[in-house]
Amino acid sequence: MNYYEKQITEKDKKEIREFCNIFNLRVVFESYNYADIPKNKIYINEKYPLSIAWSAIFHELQHFICYREGKFLKYHNMHKNYNKSWFKKYIRRMGLKIEIYVDIKAEELMNIYLPDIPYEQAYRTRESQLSYKEWIKESFQ
Ligand SMILES: [Zn+2]
């Protein structure tokens, strides 16, 4: 099966929901990806092909795993720290490094659970790193 072409079906959504339920996380199918840490919710773009959706799920899941393990707590408490001036400096210095770490760990985890589905890396191409830096610039002036 070509996971890059296969769109998410209702059955896939059910599987994704059941998987995330193991980690006590609820999934909301939306038009963007986001880990809502205080609410234990993962938002996933439902327009993604299946392999990219699963990769995004594992990436966001890894943010929760880090948070629960106490890793990068300043970053994962973004909802609390968003407007603080020290946080703006911190995220400019650390944000991309943390995202890359999270993405490497997410790939390792997905290769264990879903070895047949190729992981779609995030934050590891120059292009995606530049767009992250753009977002940081706009969001944390
Ligand atoms: Zn991330």
Question: pLDDT for 87-115, tens place per residue?
Answer: 999 999 999 999 999 999 999 999 999 99
CA of 14 to the centre of ligand 1 (A): 23
Q: Report yes or no on 78 lying in a domain.
A: yes
User: Considering the domain boundaries, does residue 67 fall inside one?
Assistant: yes
Residuewise pLDDT in 10s, the chain (141 residues): 566 678 899 999 999 999 999 999 999 999 999 999 999 999 999 999 999 999 999 999 999 999 999 999 999 999 898 889 999 999 999 999 999 999 999 999 999 999 999 999 999 999 999 999 999 999 988
Ligand 1 centroid to Cα of residue 79, in Å, is 14
Q: Residue 2 C-alpha to ligand 1 middle, in angstroms?
A: 25
The alpha carbon of 61 and the centre of ligand 1 are apart by a number of angstroms equal to: 9
Instruction: Give the distance (Å) from ligand 1 centre to CA of residue 34.
Output: 8
From ligand 1's centre to the CA of 102, what distance in Å?
Answer: 7
Q: Give the range of the structural domain holding residue 121, as residue numbers without chain letter.
A: 10-139
Is 109 domain-assigned? yes
Contact 28, 66 (CB under 8 A): no
Q: What percent of the chain has pLDDT over 70?
A: 97
Q: From CA 116, how far away is CA 22, in angstroms rounded?
A: 21
The tally of domains found in the chain comes to 1
In a domain, 44, yes or no: yes
Q: Could you tell me the end-to-end alpha-carbon distance of the chain, in angstroms, rounded to an integer?
A: 45
What pLDDT does residue 1 have?
A: 59
Instruction: State both tokens at 102.
Output: 């999270």
Compute, in angstroms, the gap from residue 131 CA to the centroid of ligand 1.
13
94, with CB counted inside 10 A (0-12, 13-18, 19+), is: middle
Q: Is residue 4 part of a domain?
A: no
Give the whole-angstrom CA distance, residue 81 versus residue 128.
Answer: 24
Give burial (CB, 10 Å; 0-12/13-18/19+) of 57: buried
In a domain? residue 3 = no
